[in-house]
Amino acid sequence: MEQSLRDLETAVTRLAADQPFALSWMIRTVGTGEVIGEDATRAVASFSTRKVSVLLACLALVETGELSLEDRSVITEEMKDGVQAGIMRNLSAGISLSLRDSLLQMMSTSDNICTQLVFAAIGSVRPDPLQWVNDYCAWMGLHATLHREIFPRTGDLTWSHSLDTLTTTTARDQSRLLEKLGRGCVDDTAAAQLMLSVELCAFAREAMLGLFTPALGVACTQIRFAEKNGRGLRSLSQVGLALSASGVPLAAVAAYAENIPTQLPSGLPGRVAVFDLFAELGLAVQEWARGR
Protein backbone atom coordinates (compact mmCIF):
# COMPACT_ATOMS: atom_id res chain seq x y z
CA MET A 1 0.00 0.00 0.00
CA GLU A 2 1.28 3.49 -0.87
CA GLN A 3 2.41 5.65 2.04
CA SER A 4 -0.06 8.36 1.01
CA LEU A 5 -2.92 5.88 1.32
CA ARG A 6 -1.67 4.82 4.74
CA ASP A 7 -1.67 8.49 5.70
CA LEU A 8 -5.25 8.80 4.49
CA GLU A 9 -6.23 5.76 6.53
CA THR A 10 -4.64 7.30 9.61
CA ALA A 11 -6.36 10.63 8.99
CA VAL A 12 -9.84 9.11 8.56
CA THR A 13 -9.35 6.81 11.55
CA ARG A 14 -8.54 9.88 13.63
CA LEU A 15 -11.62 11.68 12.33
CA ALA A 16 -13.82 8.72 13.24
CA ALA A 17 -12.35 8.29 16.70
CA ASP A 18 -14.16 9.70 19.69
CA GLN A 19 -17.26 10.64 17.71
CA PRO A 20 -20.54 10.19 19.56
CA PHE A 21 -21.78 7.90 16.79
CA ALA A 22 -20.57 4.82 14.94
CA LEU A 23 -18.88 5.26 11.58
CA SER A 24 -18.35 2.51 9.06
CA TRP A 25 -16.35 3.53 6.02
CA MET A 26 -14.36 2.31 3.06
CA ILE A 27 -12.22 4.02 0.43
CA ARG A 28 -11.09 2.22 -2.73
CA THR A 29 -8.60 3.75 -5.11
CA VAL A 30 -9.94 3.45 -8.64
CA GLY A 31 -8.23 0.82 -10.75
CA THR A 32 -5.53 -0.25 -8.28
CA GLY A 33 -7.46 -2.59 -6.01
CA GLU A 34 -6.19 -0.85 -2.88
CA VAL A 35 -8.72 -0.57 -0.08
CA ILE A 36 -8.80 1.04 3.34
CA GLY A 37 -11.66 1.19 5.80
CA GLU A 38 -13.08 0.32 9.16
CA ASP A 39 -16.18 -1.62 10.17
CA ALA A 40 -17.07 -1.62 6.46
CA THR A 41 -19.07 -4.85 6.54
CA ARG A 42 -21.53 -3.62 9.15
CA ALA A 43 -25.08 -3.90 7.78
CA VAL A 44 -26.63 -0.44 7.72
CA ALA A 45 -29.80 1.14 6.42
CA SER A 46 -28.88 2.51 3.02
CA PHE A 47 -31.59 5.13 2.75
CA SER A 48 -30.98 7.13 -0.42
CA THR A 49 -27.44 5.93 -1.07
CA ARG A 50 -29.23 2.92 -2.58
CA LYS A 51 -30.19 5.14 -5.49
CA VAL A 52 -26.75 4.73 -7.07
CA SER A 53 -27.59 1.07 -7.67
CA VAL A 54 -31.15 1.92 -8.74
CA LEU A 55 -29.71 4.43 -11.24
CA LEU A 56 -27.25 1.92 -12.70
CA ALA A 57 -29.78 -0.93 -12.80
CA CYS A 58 -32.16 1.30 -14.74
CA LEU A 59 -29.42 2.47 -17.10
CA ALA A 60 -28.59 -1.18 -17.82
CA LEU A 61 -32.07 -1.43 -19.39
CA VAL A 62 -31.35 1.71 -21.40
CA GLU A 63 -28.17 0.03 -22.63
CA THR A 64 -30.17 -2.98 -23.86
CA GLY A 65 -32.53 -0.64 -25.67
CA GLU A 66 -35.54 -1.75 -23.64
CA LEU A 67 -35.86 1.69 -22.08
CA SER A 68 -35.07 5.12 -23.53
CA LEU A 69 -33.97 8.17 -21.57
CA GLU A 70 -36.59 10.05 -23.58
CA ASP A 71 -39.49 7.87 -22.37
CA ARG A 72 -42.00 10.11 -20.58
CA SER A 73 -44.29 9.61 -17.61
CA VAL A 74 -46.65 11.79 -15.62
CA ILE A 75 -46.66 12.52 -11.89
CA THR A 76 -49.96 11.64 -10.24
CA GLU A 77 -51.41 12.85 -6.94
CA GLU A 78 -51.23 9.33 -5.50
CA MET A 79 -47.44 9.31 -5.88
CA LYS A 80 -47.12 12.01 -3.22
CA ASP A 81 -48.40 9.73 -0.47
CA GLY A 82 -45.75 9.17 2.20
CA VAL A 83 -43.02 11.00 0.30
CA GLN A 84 -40.64 13.01 2.50
CA ALA A 85 -37.76 13.61 0.10
CA GLY A 86 -37.51 15.77 -2.98
CA ILE A 87 -39.19 18.74 -4.60
CA MET A 88 -41.95 17.25 -6.74
CA ARG A 89 -44.25 16.53 -3.78
CA ASN A 90 -44.87 20.27 -3.43
CA LEU A 91 -45.80 20.76 -7.09
CA SER A 92 -49.03 20.13 -8.94
CA ALA A 93 -49.84 16.67 -10.23
CA GLY A 94 -49.77 16.26 -14.00
CA ILE A 95 -46.15 17.30 -14.60
CA SER A 96 -44.61 15.18 -17.34
CA LEU A 97 -40.96 14.12 -17.01
CA SER A 98 -38.61 12.14 -19.24
CA LEU A 99 -36.83 9.14 -17.74
CA ARG A 100 -33.61 11.16 -18.02
CA ASP A 101 -35.08 13.93 -15.87
CA SER A 102 -36.60 11.50 -13.38
CA LEU A 103 -33.18 9.89 -12.91
CA LEU A 104 -31.52 13.30 -12.49
CA GLN A 105 -34.03 14.45 -9.87
CA MET A 106 -33.81 11.10 -8.07
CA MET A 107 -30.10 11.74 -7.68
CA SER A 108 -30.03 15.54 -7.24
CA THR A 109 -32.80 16.08 -4.70
CA SER A 110 -33.33 12.41 -3.83
CA ASP A 111 -36.87 12.90 -5.09
CA ASN A 112 -38.96 9.89 -4.17
CA ILE A 113 -41.72 10.70 -6.62
CA CYS A 114 -39.06 10.43 -9.31
CA THR A 115 -37.83 7.22 -7.67
CA GLN A 116 -41.33 5.83 -8.15
CA LEU A 117 -41.27 6.89 -11.81
CA VAL A 118 -37.91 5.14 -12.26
CA PHE A 119 -39.19 1.92 -10.70
CA ALA A 120 -42.33 2.19 -12.86
CA ALA A 121 -40.12 2.45 -15.95
CA ILE A 122 -38.16 -0.63 -14.90
CA GLY A 123 -41.46 -2.36 -14.19
CA SER A 124 -42.64 -1.62 -17.71
CA VAL A 125 -40.05 -4.06 -19.06
CA ARG A 126 -39.40 -6.36 -16.08
CA PRO A 127 -42.09 -8.20 -14.08
CA ASP A 128 -40.65 -7.27 -10.67
CA PRO A 129 -38.64 -4.03 -10.72
CA LEU A 130 -37.39 -4.40 -7.14
CA GLN A 131 -36.09 -7.88 -7.95
CA TRP A 132 -34.35 -6.49 -11.05
CA VAL A 133 -32.45 -4.04 -8.87
CA ASN A 134 -31.62 -6.80 -6.37
CA ASP A 135 -30.44 -9.09 -9.16
CA TYR A 136 -28.30 -6.28 -10.58
CA CYS A 137 -26.69 -5.71 -7.18
CA ALA A 138 -25.95 -9.43 -6.87
CA TRP A 139 -24.39 -9.51 -10.34
CA MET A 140 -22.17 -6.55 -9.38
CA GLY A 141 -20.93 -8.29 -6.24
CA LEU A 142 -22.98 -6.29 -3.73
CA HIS A 143 -23.72 -9.41 -1.73
CA ALA A 144 -24.72 -7.60 1.47
CA THR A 145 -27.22 -5.26 -0.20
CA LEU A 146 -30.96 -5.96 -0.08
CA HIS A 147 -33.49 -3.58 -1.61
CA ARG A 148 -36.73 -4.05 0.28
CA GLU A 149 -38.88 -1.10 -0.76
CA ILE A 150 -39.51 1.34 -3.61
CA PHE A 151 -38.94 4.14 -1.11
CA PRO A 152 -38.89 4.18 2.71
CA ARG A 153 -41.67 5.97 4.57
CA THR A 154 -39.33 7.72 6.95
CA GLY A 155 -42.15 9.77 8.43
CA ASP A 156 -43.49 6.59 10.03
CA LEU A 157 -40.16 5.56 11.59
CA THR A 158 -38.93 6.15 15.11
CA TRP A 159 -35.29 6.85 15.99
CA SER A 160 -34.86 3.28 17.24
CA HIS A 161 -36.49 1.65 14.21
CA SER A 162 -35.64 -1.87 13.09
CA LEU A 163 -33.74 -2.58 9.86
CA ASP A 164 -36.08 -5.48 9.00
CA THR A 165 -38.18 -3.68 6.41
CA LEU A 166 -35.58 -1.25 5.11
CA THR A 167 -33.02 -1.53 2.34
CA THR A 168 -29.69 -2.49 3.86
CA THR A 169 -26.15 -2.34 2.56
CA THR A 170 -22.54 -1.93 3.67
CA ALA A 171 -19.79 0.60 3.05
CA ARG A 172 -17.88 -2.20 1.32
CA ASP A 173 -20.71 -2.84 -1.16
CA GLN A 174 -21.30 0.81 -2.01
CA SER A 175 -17.60 1.57 -2.47
CA ARG A 176 -17.32 -1.51 -4.68
CA LEU A 177 -20.07 -0.25 -6.98
CA LEU A 178 -18.63 3.25 -7.16
CA GLU A 179 -15.15 1.95 -7.93
CA LYS A 180 -16.63 -0.03 -10.83
CA LEU A 181 -18.41 3.12 -11.98
CA GLY A 182 -15.15 5.07 -11.85
CA ARG A 183 -13.47 2.54 -14.10
CA GLY A 184 -16.53 2.37 -16.33
CA CYS A 185 -16.32 6.09 -17.01
CA VAL A 186 -13.00 5.63 -18.81
CA ASP A 187 -12.88 2.02 -20.01
CA ASP A 188 -15.24 0.11 -22.32
CA THR A 189 -14.57 -3.25 -20.71
CA ALA A 190 -15.19 -1.91 -17.22
CA ALA A 191 -18.39 -0.23 -18.41
CA ALA A 192 -19.53 -3.53 -19.93
CA GLN A 193 -19.01 -5.22 -16.57
CA LEU A 194 -21.65 -2.81 -15.25
CA MET A 195 -23.83 -3.74 -18.28
CA LEU A 196 -23.42 -0.15 -19.45
CA SER A 197 -21.52 1.91 -22.00
CA VAL A 198 -18.86 4.47 -21.13
CA GLU A 199 -21.39 7.14 -22.11
CA LEU A 200 -24.03 5.83 -19.69
CA CYS A 201 -21.42 5.59 -16.93
CA ALA A 202 -20.59 9.23 -17.64
CA PHE A 203 -24.30 10.07 -17.43
CA ALA A 204 -24.42 8.46 -13.98
CA ARG A 205 -21.32 10.40 -12.90
CA GLU A 206 -22.83 13.68 -14.11
CA ALA A 207 -26.11 12.93 -12.32
CA MET A 208 -24.15 12.48 -9.10
CA LEU A 209 -22.21 15.70 -9.64
CA GLY A 210 -25.55 17.50 -9.52
CA LEU A 211 -26.35 16.59 -5.91
CA PHE A 212 -28.18 19.55 -4.34
CA THR A 213 -26.65 18.99 -0.90
CA PRO A 214 -23.04 17.91 -1.38
CA ALA A 215 -21.22 16.87 1.78
CA LEU A 216 -17.96 15.13 0.85
CA GLY A 217 -17.02 17.79 -1.69
CA VAL A 218 -18.57 20.78 0.02
CA ALA A 219 -15.23 22.23 1.16
CA CYS A 220 -12.96 20.81 -1.57
CA THR A 221 -11.33 23.15 -4.05
CA GLN A 222 -8.97 20.87 -5.98
CA ILE A 223 -11.03 17.72 -6.49
CA ARG A 224 -14.76 17.11 -6.96
CA PHE A 225 -17.08 14.42 -5.70
CA ALA A 226 -19.84 12.78 -7.70
CA GLU A 227 -21.85 11.89 -4.63
CA LYS A 228 -25.14 10.74 -3.11
CA ASN A 229 -26.47 11.27 0.36
CA GLY A 230 -28.63 9.14 2.60
CA ARG A 231 -30.73 10.41 5.50
CA GLY A 232 -32.49 8.29 8.06
CA LEU A 233 -33.74 8.96 11.56
CA ARG A 234 -30.56 7.99 13.38
CA SER A 235 -28.28 7.68 10.40
CA LEU A 236 -26.61 9.83 7.79
CA SER A 237 -24.53 8.52 4.94
CA GLN A 238 -22.57 9.80 2.02
CA VAL A 239 -21.07 7.87 -0.87
CA GLY A 240 -19.04 9.44 -3.63
CA LEU A 241 -16.58 9.11 -6.46
CA ALA A 242 -13.63 11.48 -6.05
CA LEU A 243 -12.60 13.07 -9.35
CA SER A 244 -9.52 15.09 -10.24
CA ALA A 245 -10.04 18.63 -11.48
CA SER A 246 -9.91 17.22 -15.01
CA GLY A 247 -12.49 14.55 -14.18
CA VAL A 248 -10.23 11.51 -13.75
CA PRO A 249 -11.78 9.07 -11.24
CA LEU A 250 -9.52 8.78 -8.21
CA ALA A 251 -11.27 6.96 -5.39
CA ALA A 252 -14.61 5.56 -4.29
CA VAL A 253 -15.73 6.64 -0.84
CA ALA A 254 -18.55 5.28 1.31
CA ALA A 255 -19.26 6.47 4.86
CA TYR A 256 -22.19 5.49 7.09
CA ALA A 257 -22.77 7.23 10.43
CA GLU A 258 -25.11 5.26 12.68
CA ASN A 259 -26.85 5.81 16.01
CA ILE A 260 -26.37 9.56 15.76
CA PRO A 261 -27.72 11.16 18.94
CA THR A 262 -30.44 13.70 18.31
CA GLN A 263 -28.41 16.15 20.38
CA LEU A 264 -24.80 16.35 21.53
CA PRO A 265 -23.94 17.07 25.18
CA SER A 266 -23.17 20.65 24.11
CA GLY A 267 -26.74 21.07 22.86
CA LEU A 268 -25.84 21.02 19.17
CA PRO A 269 -27.92 18.73 16.95
CA GLY A 270 -26.03 15.48 16.42
CA ARG A 271 -26.35 15.70 12.64
CA VAL A 272 -24.19 18.83 12.60
CA ALA A 273 -21.17 16.83 13.82
CA VAL A 274 -21.74 14.23 11.10
CA PHE A 275 -21.80 16.81 8.31
CA ASP A 276 -18.60 18.31 9.73
CA LEU A 277 -17.03 14.86 9.61
CA PHE A 278 -18.14 14.24 6.01
CA ALA A 279 -16.62 17.57 4.95
CA GLU A 280 -13.37 16.70 6.75
CA LEU A 281 -13.39 13.27 5.11
CA GLY A 282 -13.63 14.94 1.69
CA LEU A 283 -10.72 17.22 2.56
CA ALA A 284 -8.65 14.22 3.69
CA VAL A 285 -9.25 12.54 0.33
CA GLN A 286 -8.27 15.78 -1.40
CA GLU A 287 -5.03 15.85 0.61
CA TRP A 288 -4.33 12.24 -0.40
CA ALA A 289 -4.99 13.10 -4.06
CA ARG A 290 -2.54 15.99 -3.89
CA GLY A 291 0.17 13.77 -2.47
CA ARG A 292 -0.09 10.91 -4.96
Partner 1 sequence: MVAEVRMLTLEECAAAYPQLRFAVGDAGLSGVVAESRADEPHDLGGIGKLLLGLTLAHLGQSHEGFLERSLTVSRDHRAGARTGTLRLMSGELQLSVEDAVNLVLSTGDGACVLALLDFAAAEGVDLLSEAGGLTSSLRLDAVQLSGLESGESWGEGLLGSATAASTCQLLRSLGTLDDPEDDPAVAGGASSEARQLLHGWMGKVFEPAGLASALPGYGPRRVRHQTLSGFELTAVGAQRGYSSALSLPNQAGEWVHVAAHLPPSSAGAHSPRDVSAVLGGLGLAAYLSTRN
Look at phi and psi of residue 120 and say left if phi exceeds 0, alpha if psi is from -120 to 50, else beta.
alpha
Contacts of 185 (CB under 8 A, 6+ apart): 191, 198, 201, 202, 205, 249
Nearest by Cα to 123 from 54, 77, 70, 75:
54
Q: Does 279 bind partner 1 (CB under 8 A)?
A: yes
Q: How many CB atoms lie within 10 A of CB 154?
A: 19
Q: Does 159 bind partner 1 (CB under 8 A)?
A: yes
Find the binder of partner 1 among 5, 58, 104, 196 (CB under 8 A): 104
Q: How far apart are CA 48 and CA 240, in angstroms?
A: 13
Half-sphere CA count of 154, side-chain side, radius 13 A:
19
Find the binder of partner 1 among 163, 219, 248, 287 (CB under 8 A): 219
What is the 8-class DSSP label of residue 86? S
Q: How far is the CB of 14 from partner 1 (least distance, A)?
A: 13
Q: Which stretch binds partner 1 (CB under 8 A): 27-35, 55-63, 87-95, 120-128?
A: 87-95
Q: Which is nearer to partner 1, 39 or 206 (CB)?
A: 206
Q: Which is nearer to partner 1, 30 or 106 (CB)?
A: 106
Q: Does 263 bind partner 1 (CB under 8 A)?
A: yes
Q: Which chain residues interact with partner 1 by CB under 8 A?
A: 84-87, 90-92, 95-98, 100-101, 104-105, 108-109, 154-155, 157, 159, 207, 210, 212-213, 218-219, 231-234, 260, 262-263, 266-272, 275-276, 279-280, 283
